[in-house]
Amino acid sequence: MFKQIFWKVLLVFWAALIIIAVLSSWITREIVESELGLHEKYIQDKKNSAEAVTVFEAHGRKALANWVKQLNEETGLRAFLITPSGTSATTTPLPRSIKRFLHKRYYLPPWAEPTEVSTKQGDYLYFSLGPSFPPPPKHRQDILWWSRAITSLFVLFIVSIFFSKHLVNPLKELTNISQSLAKGDLAKRVNPKIEHRLDEIGILAREFNHMAEKIQQNHDNLQQLFHSISHELKTPLARQRVAIELIAKKGAEPRLLEKMNRQIKLLDSLIDELITITKLQEPTVELLKEEIKLPAIIQEVIEDNTLEADLKSIKLNLANDINNSTKGDRRLLYRSIDNIVRNAIKYSPENTTVCISCNEKDNYYNINIIDQGPGVPDMTLSKLVDPFYRVDSARARNTGGHGLGLAIANSIIQAHQGELQFQNITNGGLKASIKLPLTHP
C-alpha cells in the first residue's frame, strides 16, 4: 500500500512537517529559556545593584571591591559600578565594551545592559557580566526566531527538491522515450531502474515498455507481411504476364485461358485470405456471438474433409467429451478447425489416422488434432502461425496454399479469447491444441 505515489506524497510531507515541528520546538525552547534566563538575571541584578550601591555609599571603594570579589567567587559574575559622575567605583578595569557603551558607541544585548539605581547622590549604573563577555551585537532571541524560519524553509526546500526529482525525472525519461518512438526509434525502452519501481510510475514504465515491444513486434510483422505479400504476388503475376505474351503471339488457346483463370482464382483467394487475417487482427474486431456446439462443428469439418482424406486412405476419428454449448462466431470457428484438419490431412502419409478429441477442463474447451506425419523441427513450432511461413517451401508449394491457413486459424481462435499451440509427438506426428473459454464474454 505504501508503495503507491499517494502514500509516498503523504508520508514525505508528514515527515517534513514532523522534522519542522521538532526543530521549531527546540528553537522555541531555546527562545523561552533565553527569555526566562534574562528575566531571572534582571531580578538578580536589581538585588545585587542595590546591595552594591549600599556597600559603596556606606563603606567606600575598598568594601565594594571585597563585595565584588566575593560575588565573583560565588556566582562567577563580574560586577562593575559606575558612579553618578561617570567614573568607575570598582577597582577592576572596565571592559572595553562597557567603555564604548558609556561613550554611546556600542550596543549591548539585553542580558548585558546595565541596571540603573537612583539614590540621593544621583543615578548609578550597575553592570553584571558572565565569565566572558558575549560578543554578538544582536539579540539572541532574534537570532533564534530567524533560525526557526530559515530551518523550516530549508527543510521544505530539501524535501521538495528530492521529491520533485523522485517524481519528475522518470516522467521526463518517459517523455523522451515516447518522442524517440514517435520519430521511429522503436528500440528505445525505459530504464530498468524505473521499470522496477513498485509504485504507479513503475507500473506505467512496465506498461510503456510492453507497449513499445508490441509496437516494434507489429512493425516487424508488418514489414515481414509486406515482404511475403510481394513475394507471393510475383509468381502468379509473372505467369499471367507470360500467358498474355503467348496469347499476343499465338492467339487465345483454351489451355492458356484455363491457366490464366486458375492464376486469377489463386490471386483472388490470396487477397481474400489477406483481407480476412487483417480484419481478425484488428483490436476492435466484432464477432458474431451465437449459441454453438463445438462437437457439431467438428463433425461437420470431418464430413467435409472425408473425400480428401479418402484419396490418401486416411481415417478421421473423433472422440467427443463435450456436452455444453458456448458462444462465438460459428462460421469463423468452423474455418479455423477446418484449416487445421486440412493441414493435418495434407501432411499425413497414406493409410494413417488423424485423431480429433475434445473435452472440458479448467474452464476451457480443449480440442486436440493429432496426425501421424513427419512433424516439424522444434524451433519452428512457434512460427507455424506466422503468415506465409512454410517449414519446407518446395513441399508447401507442391501441396498448394499460401501459408496463411494456420495464421487465419490462430487469429480466429485468439479473437475468441483462446489459444492455438503445436507440439511434436514422440513417435512421429504433430499435435495441434486449441483452447477456447467455456463462456466467451
Mean pLDDT of successive 10-residue segments in the chain (441 residues)?
56 69 64 57 79 85 86 82 83 79 68 80 83 46 59 68 71 81 79 77 82 78 64 64 69 67 69 70 72 90 92 91 82 90 92 92 90 89 81 52 79 90 90 84 45
> Residue 1's pLDDT is what?
46
Residue partners of 343: CB distance under 8 A and separation at least 6 = 405, 406, 432
Cα distance between residue 279 and residue 299, in whole Å = 27
> Are residues 202 and 120 part of one domain?
no
> Are residues 433 and 299 part of one domain?
yes
> Residue 138's pLDDT is what?
44
Q: What is the CA radius of gyration of the chain?
A: 49
Decide if 418 contacts 402 (C-beta within 8 A).
no
Decide if 68 contacts 56 (C-beta within 8 A).
no
Using the 3D structure, point to which of 270, 285, 300 is the last residue of a domain: 285
> Are residues 339 and 388 part of one domain?
yes
> Are residues 357 and 370 part of one domain?
yes
Q: What range defines the domain where residue 46 resides?
A: 5-141
Domain presence at residue 312: yes
> Are residues 120 and 18 part of one domain?
yes
Domain presence at residue 58: yes
Using the 3D structure, point to which of 260, 285, 310 is the last residue of a domain: 285
Domain presence at residue 177: no
Decide if 101 contacts 108 (C-beta within 8 A).
yes
> Are residues 417 and 298 part of one domain?
yes
Cα distance between residue 14 and residue 19, in whole Å = 9
Q: Which residue type is seen at 277?
A: I
3-state SS string for 89-129: CCCCCCCHHHHHHHCCCCCCCHHHCCEEEEECCEEEEEEEE
Using the 3D structure, point to which of 235, 267, 285 is the last residue of a domain: 285
Domain presence at residue 219: yes
pTM, rounded to two decimals: 0.51
Domain presence at residue 175: no
* Complete DSSP assignment for 211-257: HHHHHHHHHHHHHHHHHHHHHHHHHHHHHHHHHHHHHHHH---HHHH
Residue partners of 336: CB distance under 8 A and separation at least 6 = 408, 409, 410, 412, 413, 420, 434
> Are residues 220 and 104 part of one domain?
no
Domain presence at residue 375: yes
> Are residues 294 and 281 part of one domain?
no
Structural domain count of the chain: 3
The CATH number of whichever domain residue 220 belongs to comes to 1.10.287
- CA 405, distance to chain mean position in Å, is 39
Q: How far is CA 207 from CA 55, 132, 342, 430, in A?
A: 89, 68, 39, 36
> Are residues 374 and 241 part of one domain?
no
Of the candidates 32, 29, 27, 34, the residue with the CA atom closest to the CA atom of residue 148: 27
Residue partners of 319: CB distance under 8 A and separation at least 6 = 355, 356, 357, 358
> Are residues 309 and 281 part of one domain?
no
Q: Which residue type is seen at 181?
A: L
Range 187-200 burial, b when 16+ CB lie within 10 A, else e: eebbeeebbebebe
DSSP designation for 349: P
> Residue 394's pLDDT is what?
41
Decide if 416 contacts 328 (C-beta within 8 A).
yes
> Are residues 200 and 131 part of one domain?
no
C-alpha grid cell, residue 150: 530559515
Domain presence at residue 255: yes
The CATH number of whichever domain residue 68 belongs to comes to 3.30.450
Q: Which residue type is seen at 8?
A: K
Domain presence at residue 168: no
> Are residues 325 and 213 part of one domain?
no
